[in-house]
């Protein structure tokens, strides 16, 4: 037994290790198989799609270089509207999501109505499609007869996004809070910290750190959903693409808009994946 | 010996749902003495300590601290809990804070003392327990024994009148048990009032002033260690000791 | 003289017989569903284009035109089955689930690259719809005043382009999904004015709004302010020839004008914007 255990150890220190060579060979073979199959699939798509009967029509109306070059700069500048809405929505969502999570976590009986409110709030805003909330807020509230600028679609559209996304963020933060082991609370309580100090200094810092990756995914979703505000007036990228599309009767502007979205979401998604991976590694 | 009854439990009962964990416990802890609770897992030792620290509300009975009933549900447990320190089996350090931040948090927030003011005092405590070089480390950079010593310092920094130890060596590798028990010995030499739930029988025998054997939620037998370990009266005490020694 | 008259009479008789022969003759082009004509319109379809959102009743300008065209290419009332098509379905490339779509599609050169249009069946003046309080605050139908307004239009329509060319507002216009949303924004004061074809503007101001006012229309000699509506067909659909022939005959014999007079309010009394 001892001999069998020692043998690879001895060889590992040497220059030639048959096991390592074998592993290397397997890894290389795996890489080759992956590249070959990917190439085969891409090639098949490359050949098969243009063989479809409607390809030339689709190509003309979705991939028209001239239309692309003409509309892309306009799409880019319309995207600034999306970025703007995102930039002021995200912090508001973070704050209100946290507030809702805390409301939901209250343990004092006196504050029970707050907890009830938080539960109802979450049920409503996670249950209604964000598009409907935008419509209801964006047309309904200004319809009450608010004077300008208080009937701006930017205000009520943002509120719709914030209300909806805060419900999701609250839920994520709450699971984060619940994932912190009860013993942390016990230890903090035994030191005589007040419940609010326990939450602020012991539970939340750990909980928030744990849910950062999940919230990154929420941010990515938000970044896309900002475009939904277009239905209540703002001319952001999706609307601009729609306008260009109907002017040109050509769908290439949508392809352009997709490219702009991807340019933002792909790096963001990769970053979120890396955060999750790092966290998993730390926990194991 | 003229002693002050620092802590006294009278008829303490506690149940979780249908399951009664403490079934009428009476115990007196003299000031400056060290009481060890022994008994099988599930005999109610940990629950008893958590009740004394007011982490669990009790069903009936009294917990008298200097003769004052702290289990009265009408009174605010916070200031009372601060007079009692507790150390847990799984250390329960706050993982997002360095060792010294772990220790400073409660004095800063509860006693409103500044970091600068606390720094020297806490550094001295780290030095006393052989942890000076680890003061800025995060819990996951410390061994189990080191973490448990930091946890003890964290409790001591609140200047408690009583320290409760809940199987503080049970999660440790054997070579680290000694360094933690040394700290407890040091505290005993400073006449800290302490209640320990422990499985370290030789330590209880050597260091305790009073040993209580818990069985099925009651104190089955109590006495000085020489009597409990040398000449137990109860059959179940003898049975427990024969299984464990 | 009499010979000339005879020849003329004969010629008109031949012409008449040709006309009556072509009317009611089944068009050679195939339809998406055999033996049936499948026109499409939006859901909802709006008055005065389609009455009660029910095109099958043949009431409303576009519905009436479609049934007339259908009859002239050989599909009587019971051989017409309506489909629903969104704006995008109308202008996207590829096969359609309808023979032609009518929903006030403006004929533009760019759209012609992807789809085919029939001849125009209506030429609409572009009108400006506002609310009474705006007019009471002193708004006059002149371009200088219109520039200062907050505009809103339905995206996807040609209104946005016409607005930019004719008015060129100071503030960026807001855009909405459809006319209903634009009118809602107008009602709640998020926008001051919108641009619609005149019949729709008249309808919205009279029926959908409490205080709607058609402020004015753009002069009809200004081609920028004109919208020609055509039926939309899949690119290369041979049916377009039949439809065009039917429309031409409807124009020639005054049927189209009669339908127009029946359904589309007269534009009299709407001031012209200077």
Q: Which two tokens stand for residue A278?
A: 């790092």
How many beta carbons lie within 10 A of that of residue C186, not counting itself? 24
Classify residue C125 by its DSSP letter: E
Task: Judge whether C256 lies within some domain.
Answer: yes
Task: Judge whether C185 lies within some domain.
Answer: yes
Q: Which of A134-138, B10-14, B115-119, C28-32 is predicted with the least confidence, judged by mean pLDDT?
A: C28-32
- pLDDT-based confidence at C39, cuts 50/70/90? very high
Task: Collect all residues of chain A within an 8 Å Cβ-Cβ radius of residue C155.
Answer: 230, 239, 242-243, 246
- pLDDT-based confidence at C265, cuts 50/70/90? low
Each residue of A46-55: b (16+ CB within 10 Å) or e? eeeeeeeeee
What is chain C's mean pLDDT, rounded?
Answer: 84
Q: What is the pLDDT of residue B2?
A: 57
Residues with Cβ within 8 Å of residue C124, at least 6 apart in sequence:
C104, C197, C198, C199, C226, C227, C228, C229
Does C144 lie in the same domain as C80? no
Domain that holds residue C85: 28-122+229-267
Interface of chain A toward chain C, CB-CB under 8 angstroms: 54, 57-58, 60-61, 139, 142-148, 151-153, 230-235, 239, 242-243, 245-251
Q: What would the pLDDT profile of A196-235 be if each residue is shown by its tens digit?
A: 999 999 999 999 989 988 898 899 999 999 999 999 988 8
Q: What is the pLDDT of residue B51?
A: 94
Chain position carrying tokens 């003011």: B117
What is chain B's mean pLDDT, rounded?
Answer: 92
Give yes or no for residue B134 having a pLDDT over 90: yes
Q: What is the pLDDT of residue A157?
A: 93
Task: Judge whether C10 lies within some domain.
Answer: no
Q: What would the pLDDT profile of A122-148 be if each residue is shown by its tens digit?
A: 999 999 999 999 999 998 888 888 888
Task: Collect all residues of chain B within an 8 Å Cβ-Cβ radius of residue A191.
Answer: 82, 85, 105-106, 110, 154-155, 158
Angle of the A153-179 helix axis to the A204-225 helix axis, nearest 10? 140
Give yes or no for residue A13 having a pLDDT over 70: no
Chains touching chain A through at least 3 C-beta pairs below 8 angstroms are B, C
Q: What is the pLDDT of residue B210?
A: 94
Task: Judge whether C20 lies within some domain.
Answer: no
Whether residue A186 lies within 8 A of chain B, CB to CB, comes out as yes
Q: What is the pLDDT of residue C208?
A: 85
Chain position carrying tokens 């082009």: C29
Does C186 lie in the same domain as C63? no
Give yes or no for residue C194 having a pLDDT over 90: yes
Residues with Cβ within 8 Å of residue A106, at least 6 apart in sequence:
A112, A114, A115
Chains touching chain B through at least 3 C-beta pairs below 8 angstroms are A
Q: Which two tokens stand for residue A122?
A: 């979450």
User: Which one has a higher pLDDT value, A248 or A72?
Assistant: A72
Does C147 lie in the same domain as C101? no
**Domains: count for chain C:** 2
The ipTM of this complex is: 0.90
Does C133 lie in the same domain as C216? yes
Give yes or no for residue B223 having a pLDDT over 50: yes
Cα distances (Å, whole numbers) of residue A86 to A26, A220, C74:
47, 10, 56
Does C243 lie in the same domain as C195? no
The distance of B189 to chain A (nearest Cα, Å) reads 23
Residue A147 CA to residue A273 CA, distance in Å, equals 45
Does C208 lie in the same domain as C194? yes
Angle of the A65-105 helix axis to the A252-283 helix axis, nearest 10? 40
Q: Which of A271-275, B20-24, C126-130 is predicted with the least confidence, judged by mean pLDDT?
A: A271-275
Give yes or no for residue C26 having a pLDDT over 70: no
- The answer to whether the CB of B155 falls within 8 A of the CB of B163 is yes
Averaged pLDDT, A168-175: 95
Task: Judge whether C233 lies within some domain.
Answer: yes
Task: Collect all residues of chain A within an 8 Å Cβ-Cβ radius of residue B155.
Answer: 190-191
The answer to whether the predicted template modeling score (pTM) of the entire model surpasses 0.80 is: no
Report how far apart the first and last C-alpha atoms of chain B are (Å, whole number).
32
What's chain A look like in SS3? CHHHHHHHHHHHHCCCCHHHHHHHHHHHHHHHHHHHHHHHHHHHHHHHHHHCCCHHHHHHHHCCHHHHHHHHHHHHHHHHHHHHHHHHHHHHHHHHHHHHHHHHHCCCHHHHHHHHHHHHHHHHHHHCCHHHHHHHHHHHCHHHCCCCCCCCHHHHHHHHHHHHHHHHHHHHHHHHHHHCCHHHHHHHHHCCCCHHHHHHHHHHHHHHHHHHHHHHHHHHHHHHHHHHHHHEECCCHHHHHHHHHHHHCCCHHHHHHHHHHHHHHHHHHHHHHHHHHHHHHHHC
Q: Which two tokens stand for residue C165?
A: 């060319």
Does C148 lie in the same domain as C98? no
Angle of the A18-51 helix axis to the A2-13 helix axis, nearest 10? 70
Best mutation target among A179, A181, A182, A187 (most B Cβ atoms within 10 Å) is: A187
Give yes or no for residue A1 having a pLDDT over 90: no
Does C107 lie in the same domain as C46? yes
Whether residue C12 lies within 8 A of chain A, CB to CB, comes out as no
Report how far apart the first and last C-alpha atoms of chain A are (Å, whole number).
30
Task: Judge whether C17 lies within some domain.
Answer: no
Does C42 lie in the same domain as C106? yes
Averaged pLDDT, C41-52: 88
Does C114 lie in the same domain as C248? yes
Task: Collect all residues of chain C within an 8 Å Cβ-Cβ radius of residue A243.
Answer: 155-156, 160, 175
Best mutation target among C101, C111, C176 (most A Cβ atoms within 10 Å) is: C176
- pLDDT-based confidence at A284, cuts 50/70/90? low
The distance of A173 to chain B (nearest Cα, Å) reads 17
Q: Which two tokens stand for residue C173?
A: 């216009």
Chain position carrying tokens 């009266």: B233
Residue B137 CA to residue B199 CA, distance in Å, equals 29
Does C217 lie in the same domain as C247? no
Whether residue C59 lies within 8 A of chain A, CB to CB, comes out as no
Does C239 lie in the same domain as C169? no
Q: Which of C19-28, C135-144, C206-215 is predicted with the least confidence, judged by mean pLDDT?
A: C19-28
Averaged pLDDT, C98-110: 89
- The answer to whether the CB of C152 falls within 8 A of the CB of C190 is yes
Task: Judge whether C178 lies within some domain.
Answer: yes
Kindly calculate the radius of gyration of chain A based on its CA atoms and give it in whole angstroms: 27
* Chain B residue whose CA is closest to A282: B140
Averaged pLDDT, C70-98: 88
Angle, CA of A86, A92 and A95, to the nearest 5°: 140
Q: What is the pLDDT of residue B148?
A: 94
Q: Which two tokens stand for residue C153?
A: 């239009």
Q: What would the pLDDT profile of B39-98 be if each residue is shown by its tens digit?
A: 998 888 999 999 999 999 999 999 999 989 998 888 888 888 889 999 999 999 999 999
Residue B33 CA to residue B39 CA, distance in Å, equals 20
Residue C250 CA to residue A192 CA, distance in Å, equals 91
Residue B72 CA to residue B58 CA, distance in Å, equals 9
Judged by CB atoms closer than 8 Å, whether chains meet at A194 and B96 is answered as no
Task: Judge whether C23 lies within some domain.
Answer: no
Look up the CATH number of the domain holding residue C81: 3.40.190.10
Task: Collect all residues of chain A within an 8 Å Cβ-Cβ radius of residue C193.
Answer: none
């Amino acid at each position: 037994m001892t001999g069998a255990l020692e043998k690879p150890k001895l060889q590992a220190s040497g220059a030639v290790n048959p096991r390592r060579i074998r592993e290397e060979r397997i890894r290389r073979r795996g890489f080759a198989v992956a590249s070959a199959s990917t190439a085969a699939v891409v090639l098949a798509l490359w050949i098969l799609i243009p063989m479809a009967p409607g390809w030339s029509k689709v190509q003309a109306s979705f991939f028209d270089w001239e239309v692309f070059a003409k509309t892309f700069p306009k799409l880019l500048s319309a995207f600034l509207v999306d970025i703007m809405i995102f930039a002021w929505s995200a912090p508001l969502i973070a704050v209100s999501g946290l507030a809702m999570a805390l409301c939901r976590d209250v343990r004092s009986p006196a504050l029970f109505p707050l907890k009830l409110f938080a539960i109802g709030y979450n049920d409503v805003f996670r249950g209604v499609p964000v598009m409907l909330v935008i419509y209801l807020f964006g047309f309904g509230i200004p319809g009450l007869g608010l004077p300008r600028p208080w009937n701006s679609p930017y205000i009520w559209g943002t509120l719709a996004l914030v209300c909806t996304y805060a419900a999701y963020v609250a839920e994520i933060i709450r699971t984060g809070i619940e994932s912190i082991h009860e013993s942390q609370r016990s230890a903090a309580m035994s030191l005589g910290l007040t419940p609010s100090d326990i939450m602020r200094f012991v539970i939340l810092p750990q909980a928030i750190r744990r849910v950062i990756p999940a919230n990154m995914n929420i941010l990515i979703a938000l970044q896309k959903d900002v475009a939904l505000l277009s239905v209540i007036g703002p001319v952001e990228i999706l609307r601009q693409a729609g306008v260009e599309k109907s002017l040109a009767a050509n769908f290439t502007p949508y392809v352009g808009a997709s490219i702009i979205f991807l340019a933002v979401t792909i790096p963001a998604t990769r970053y979120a994946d890396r955060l999750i991976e790092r966290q998993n590694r730390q926990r194991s | 010996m003229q002693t002050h009854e620092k802590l006294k439990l009278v008829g303490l009962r506690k149940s979780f749902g249908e399951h009664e964990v403490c079934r009428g416990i009476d115990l007196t802890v003299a000031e400056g003495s060290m009481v060890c609770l022994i008994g099988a897992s599930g005999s109610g030792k940990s629950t008893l300590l958590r009740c004394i620290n007011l982490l669990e509300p009790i069903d009936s009975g009294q917990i008298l601290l200097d003769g004052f009933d702290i289990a009265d549900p009408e009174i605010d447990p916070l200031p009372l809990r601060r007079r009692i320190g507790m150390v847990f089996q799984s250390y329960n350090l706050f993982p997002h804070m360095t060792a010294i931040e772990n220790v400073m948090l409660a004095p800063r927030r509860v006693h409103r003392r500044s970091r600068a003011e606390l720094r020297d005092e806490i550094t001295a405590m780290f030095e006393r327990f052989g942890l000076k070089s680890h003061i800025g480390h995060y819990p996951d950079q410390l061994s189990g024994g080191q973490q448990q010593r930091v946890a003890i310092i964290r409790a001591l920094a609140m200047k408690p009148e009583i320290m409760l130890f809940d199987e503080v060596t049970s999660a440790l590798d054997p070579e680290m048990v000694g360094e933690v028990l040394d700290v407890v010995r040091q505290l005993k030499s400073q006449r800290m009032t302490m209640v320990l739930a422990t499985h370290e029988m030789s330590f209880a025998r050597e260091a305790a002033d009073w040993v209580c054997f818990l069985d099925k939620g009651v104190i089955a037998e109590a006495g000085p260690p020489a009597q409990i370990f040398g000449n137990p009266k109860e059959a179940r005490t003898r049975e427990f000791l024969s299984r464990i020694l | 003289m009499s010979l000339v008259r005879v020849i003329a009479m004969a010629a008109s008789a031949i012409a008449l017989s040709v006309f009556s022969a072509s009317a009611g003759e089944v068009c050679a082009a195939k339809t998406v569903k055999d033996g049936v004509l499948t026109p499409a319109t939006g859901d909802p379809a709006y008055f005065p284009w389609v009455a009660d959102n029910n095109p099958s009743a043949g009431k409303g300008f576009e519905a009436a035109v479609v049934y007339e065209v259908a009859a002239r290419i050989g599909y009587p009332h019971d051989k017409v089955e309506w489909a629903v098509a969104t704006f995008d379905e109308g202008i996207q490339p590829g096969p359609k689930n309808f023979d032609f779509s009518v929903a006030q599609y403006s004929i533009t050169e760019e759209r012609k690259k992807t789809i085919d249009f029939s001849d125009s069946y209506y030429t609409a003046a572009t009108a400006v719809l506002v609310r009474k309080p705006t007019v009471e605050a002193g708004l006059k139908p002149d371009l200088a005043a219109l520039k200062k307004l907050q505009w809103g239009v339905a995206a996807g329509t040609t209104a946005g382009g016409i607005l930019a060319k004719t008015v060129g507002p100071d503030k960026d216009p807001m855009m909405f999904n459809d006319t209903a949303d634009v009118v809602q924004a107008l009602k709640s004061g998020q926008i001051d004015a919108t641009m619609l074809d005149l019949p729709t503007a008249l309808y919205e101001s009279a029926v959908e709004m409490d205080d709607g006012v058609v402020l004015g229309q753009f002069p009809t000699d200004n081609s920028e302010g004109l919208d020609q509506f055509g039926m939309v067909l899949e690119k290369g659909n041979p049916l377009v020839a039949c439809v065009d022939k039917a429309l031409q005959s409807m124009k020639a014999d005054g049927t189209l004008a009669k339908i127009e007079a029946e359904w589309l309010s007269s534009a009299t009394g709407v001031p012209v914007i200077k």
